[in-house]
Every structure is written in structure tokens, then in C-alpha cells.
Amino acid sequence: MKTLVLFASVLCGMGFFTLCGYLFLRGSPELASRLMQRLQSSGRRTLNLSEFQAQHAVAFASGHVLLVALCGLLGWAVTGKLMGGAVAAVVLYLLPARWFAWQRKKRRKQIEAELPDALLFIASALRAGSALSVALQVLVRDQQGPLGQEFGLVLKEQRLGVSFDDAIQKMAQRLGIPDFVLVVVALRVSKEVGGNLSEPLQALAETLRRKAILEGRIQALTAQGRIQGLVMTLFPVFLGGVLYMMQPTMALLFTTTIGWVVMTVALVMLLLGYLMIRKIVAIDI
């Protein structure tokens, strides 16, 4: 009963301070504008958001803070300990940034996989006599993946008056893929100087395809090392849990100062070992 009363009191306090902050920011537009700029810059820097996405940083940040606080209070109410609430709040605080990073990495890999076929398609269309803009329109119509969406955004920017060079350069900045810089250079040089664009695009597509095959072989050869690093990192944690269940004296690791020091040193060394193994097996070409 005391926990529920404390939980309700904290929620009421959060609501009161939120209402006061809203009324204060509404009465001072300059402070609200500066806070919005700070949140937008923080969102672009931390989550690698675009300027359009960063415009919603205030709503995202306020909702994120509320969820972190609620998750911390829920962890505190469930475990009955302040440490449990703090751990739950920290996990939820770090989760969105990791989720955004994972989604960006997944989308980037999908674009890299679609890029050789798209270049071959553009080269075939140019060899058949189509213009570059027509080839891109057909590619956007037939390509349903993220690469087609990016080229579709390039075409929309051109319709709004943005030059082709600026639009394709912005696309390269959004993607952040080093291989796409070669595509941008080939397109810009062909547009300025002229010449047969289908041949360099076809050669570039073959190069990217061979590179993807080589990267797949490297991933297959280093898979054992990555799994070994994961197993060697998680096995001591699993073994510690088994010993904790078998030996009641293992509880001293979580109730004494020396035990907390030993656990901290062990976790730091496990983390460093895992990062070193990942660094060794990460081969970049």
C-alpha cells in the first residue's frame, strides 16, 4: 500500500511540474525557441536525424523523458529497490538511440545490396536510348526498396527547382555510403562533360557486386570468431548465475562493497574482451 501511495505521489508531482513547465515556456516564447533549437541540435547529433525529423524533437524528447520516468518508477515498484528503478530508467533512456542506429545500419545494408542492380538498370536504360531522368523515373516506379525511395526524393527535389547536382549530393549525404560517392561523381561528370554514362555505371556495378561477394566471404570466415567472442562473454555471466543459485554465499557479491568492486572489475574486463574480439574480427575492405 505504501508503494502505491508513493507511486501515485510521484506521478502527481511529475504532472504538476510538467504543467508548470508548460505554462512557463508558454509565457516566454524566447526561452521556448532556444530550448527547441537545443533539442533539435541534440537530436541531429545523437540520433543522426535530418532537419525535417529534428523539428519533432520537442515532442519526442518530452515523450521520451516521460516514458523513462514511468519505467523507472515501475521498476522501483516491481523490484522494491531504487537500484531496479535506476537500471530500468537507464535501459529505456539508451534504447531509442540504439534502435535508431540499428535501423540506420539495416537500411544502409539494404541500399548497398540494391545499388549494383539499380546501376545496371540505369545503364541498360541509357544504352537503350532513354534519358537519365526517364531512367530514374522508371527505377523509382519499379524499385520498391529504400533506394527507390531515395531516388524518388531526388526527383521530387528537382520538380521543386533544386538542381540535379545538389539533389544527388544531398542524397549522398543522407545515405552516408562511401560507394555511392563514386556514383555521384560518375553522374555529375557525365552531366557536365558528356559521354557514354552506361559504361562507367556498368563497370561500377560489377565492382560493387564483386566487393559484396568478398564481404560475404569475409563475414562467413569471421563468423566463428564473432560467436566465440559472444560465448566467451556470456559464459562467465551464466556460470555466475548458476553458482549464485547453488551457493548462498555468492550473495556477498551483491551485498558487500568488496563484492560490488569485484563485479564491476569483472564486467569491465568482460566488456573490454568482447570489444577487442569484435575489433579483431572486423575486417574492412
* Sequence spans of domains, the chain: 2-80, 107-220, 222-281
47 vs 120, residue with greater confidence:
120
Summarised one tens digit per residue, pLDDT across range 123-176 is 888 888 878 788 888 888 887 788 888 888 888 888 888 888 888 888 888 887
**What is the per-residue pLDDT for 59?**
52
Tell which wins on pLDDT, 233 or 45: 233
User: Does residue 277 contact residue 230 with C-beta atoms inside 8 Å?
Assistant: no
Which tens digits make up the pLDDT trace of 6-55? 555 555 555 555 655 555 556 666 666 666 666 556 555 555 555 545 44
- Each residue of 204-220: pLDDT tens digit? 888 888 888 888 888 88
The string of DSSP codes covering 159-217 is HTT--HHHHHHHHHHHH--HHHHHHHHHHHHHHHH-S-SHHHHHHHHHHHHHHHHHHHH
Q: What is the CATH number of domain 107-220?
A: 1.20.81
Cβ 164 vs Cβ 158: under 8 Å: yes
Q: What is the pLDDT of residue 60?
A: 58
Q: How much is the pLDDT for 119?
A: 86
